[in-house]
Amino acid sequence: MTDVLGVMTAWESTTTTVQPEAGEPVVIALADIVSGKPVPPRPSVRLRVTAQEAERRALEGWPAVVSEPLGEWVLRASAGFTSRANSVLAVGSPGLPLDAALDRVTAFYAAHRLPAWAQVVVGSDADMALESAGWAAARPGEADSCFQVASVARVARAVRGPVRAGLSSAGGAVSVSVSPDASDAWLAVDARALVDPVAARTVLEAPAQVAFVSVTGTGGELVARGRVSHCDDWAGITDVWVARDHRRQGLAFVVMAALVDWSAEQGARTAYLQTRGDNPGALALYDQIGFVTHHEYRYLAAP
């Protein structure tokens, strides 16, 4: 006997094919298989990147309508649709003295008729410098946001059982669809998007590879949804939502399963998402399926 370790790429009527990490694919007769088991993948190297690199990766999954570089900082404006797309991402160096950089920031947002906000990594040099310059919490009373990361393979395995339970509790009365575009029904449950649907669609649909998951009930009504973008080997998960009357039925797991399945098909190995630190339900869900907090960020407003 011998064995082979790799990714199973095909399962036919009499053979299966396994692709080792190096070399040619191995075709194995099913009759020759004595045993097999899933092996946890190696942790993604992306789990060890800096907060700056992680935030810059996230830019690609949530691109603003208008974006301008300021040294390593990025000015973003999107007619007010979401804080992320309407704040300067202040990571790294702005390439100017701080006072001059902040003047550029405030002038940019004044030109776009938006308040001057900055997204900063908690405890970073930019965070401390802006607070020393008089910038304060843009949303007082709200917790900082958690940037969470997980292995796509681990999440895919973790959601299998809860997905079966969720579909069972729903009695098979829901259907799952994946689309490259946001439907009107998908957008309709987001009050932020309804303020400016054009800006919302521009941000949501801008990535080259993006998918919108919709879970509908027997009457065709939207009961859960989510969005995922893919770039390189990163999958950015956003907008996971379950209708109030359908919560605690496992539908969030159904959405997550569809999102990570699509991500895996695109070749993603690392998934990331952002959620507020005062959302214990979401944090518990994501912890259960393998996400860990990589860093935290907050929004500061100009004085």
Question: Mind listing the pLDDT tens digit for each residue in 48-80?
Answer: 789 999 999 999 999 999 999 999 999 999 999
Look up residue 49 and give its two tokens. Answer: 């990147």
pLDDT tens digits, one per residue of 279-289: 998 999 999 99
Q: What is the pLDDT of residue 250?
A: 85
- Sketch the domain layout of the chain as residue ranges: 1-39, 46-141, 146-296
Q: Using alpha carbons, list the distances in angstroms from residue 79 to 56, 76, 195.
A: 21, 10, 9
Q: What is the pLDDT of residue 170?
A: 55
Are 203 and 164 a contacting pair, CB within 8 Å? no
Are 112 and 255 a contacting pair, CB within 8 Å? no
Question: Is CATH 3.40.50.1980 the right assignment for the domain spanning 146-296?
Answer: no
Residues of the chain with pLDDT below 50 are none
Are 238 and 203 a contacting pair, CB within 8 Å? no
Look up residue 246 and give its two tokens. Answer: 């359908």
Q: How far is CA 127 from the centre of its chain?
A: 23
